[in-house]
Structure 1
């Protein structure tokens, strides 16, 4: 097996699985075109914690951590298993990189984890280990988290950061056209990533246009820096788009073998 890249997936609203969004099909095409991972590590914007630490469960519970959506979404399940040995290995790698580790005992997969995985690997037969987002930490910290685990790609483990390239729920406009302020931020971030300008990307709060309008809080962008740290450059695009006015749906692979 060749080294697996890391992924950043803008997971969108849970309705992406049923509303005709092109994003899930793009995620699935990428999965079908690449080696099947032996395990998946998911760092989701919807799993916050104060300290990093891997989570595993004998049988993951599917958490429907949202409200007011169509009933069929609440019937979806992703009954994956965890892998305790991988979770312990991750905690050792994080500790060796200087992180204070707090193992994560939460038994459920939030929708930031299971929505993309259900589209990509619908049989739920690949072990899944979780990592939390650290809302009190910065981009550089999440980049270092990714770097600490980069070697797992050589071992057939797929590292996935699940969040959103833009995320301001106060200004979502269902079924509206793209907002200029969201497009400006999206373009800036994608251009800097294409250039491999890691320093600028990590300094997004000062350098990116409309930074705080697109991310009043940063938890949905922080998984991007984890994926970037884990995979490095180059980056390739699985999917790009804007939904509901200001929700950028970009999905990126880092360290991609461009022969695919």
Structure 2
């Protein structure tokens, strides 16, 4: 058993290998503040987790699926970046026993699941964790999203996994609070305004002290102002639902907020 219950997190994992690239000469690094935030997360946890469970916005299956390999490889699922970004290494071990425990917890909650003995960690895992725990000495299991993209189902998955927090497992949703790739790189003020509106709504929903109201709001996220501008497809928002479901009665707090390419981006912690 761990010394104390671990929090759950929702982190923005940036764009591709963004933290490991130089900005154009004479230009400020748009990812610096987010990189600094990720580098500081480990110190805020208060103890080293026994293992980390990560839900990334880059893996979807028909039912929850966990990586079950002892030494998962890396999946360089980004395209057109400099050669050195395909040489990044993050040899964190897997955790087959934890994978089995996750599946047991889901089964006990009536949620069918499966394991994957081959799949490795996508960039929604290894890129941010190169900054969070750079020594790569903490076992990691990755959990897929559901291809249904149903927010209530992802909240339910999180609720089923909540007890792991008392067993030294850090549960992390890795996505982006704003994920509109075309919108990121446009100067259209309407998109920036929608991003601002959605970010303010999302922070209010996450930090609602009533867990039932929080879950109701997150389930209906698509009705929020600026929602579909911020997430034309919601796969990068759904990791937040798993983190919020695993939060239980614990309150959510805003831990990071900045503007990247003029668009509001936030990070959250529960507990």
Check 1:105–1:176 CA distance in 2 against 1; reply closer, same or farther (3 A cut).
farther
Check 1:213–1:143 CA distance in 2 against 1; reply closer, same or farther (3 A cut).
same
Whether contact under 8 Å (2:5, 2:165) holds in the other structure is: yes
Worse overlay, 170-179 or 123-132: 170-179
Written as runs of structure 1 = structure 2, the 5 A alignment for 1:166-245 is 166-173=178-185, 179-196=192-209, 197-198=213-214, 199-206=216-223, 208-232=224-248, 233-245=250-262
Whether contact under 8 Å (1:142, 1:222) holds in the other structure is: yes
> What is the DSSP-based 3-state SS (H/G/I as helix, E as strand, rest coil) of the residue aligned with 1:167?
coil
- 2:26 matched residue in structure 1: none
Question: Whole-Å Cα distance in 1 between the matches of residues 188 and 147 of structure 2?
Answer: 29
Deviations 1:109-140 (A, max 9, x none): 10001111111100111001110011313111
Count of residue correspondences: 253
Give 1:27 shift.
2.0
Give 1:160 shift.
0.6
Superposition misfits of 4+ residues, deviation over 4 angstroms:
174-178
Root mean square deviation, CA, Å: 1.9
Q: Does 1:253 align with 2:269?
A: yes
Given candidates 165, 168, 187, the residue that maps to 2:177 is 165
- 1:148 matched residue in structure 2: 160
Whether contact under 8 Å (2:151, 2:241) holds in the other structure is: yes
Deviations 1:192-246 (A, max 9, x none): 222233111221112x112111111111110001000112431223311221233
Worse overlay, 30-39 or 216-225: 30-39
Give 1:63 shift.
1.5
Whether contact under 8 Å (1:235, 1:252) holds in the other structure is: yes
> What is the DSSP-based 3-state SS (H/G/I as helix, E as strand, rest coil) of the residue aligned with 1:108?
coil
TM-score by length of 2: 0.87
Written as runs of structure 1 = structure 2, the 5 A alignment for 1:37-186 is 37-173=49-185, 179-186=192-199
Given candidates 6, 22, 28, the residue that maps to 2:39 is 28
Unpaired stretches in structure 2, ≥5 consecutive residues = 23-28
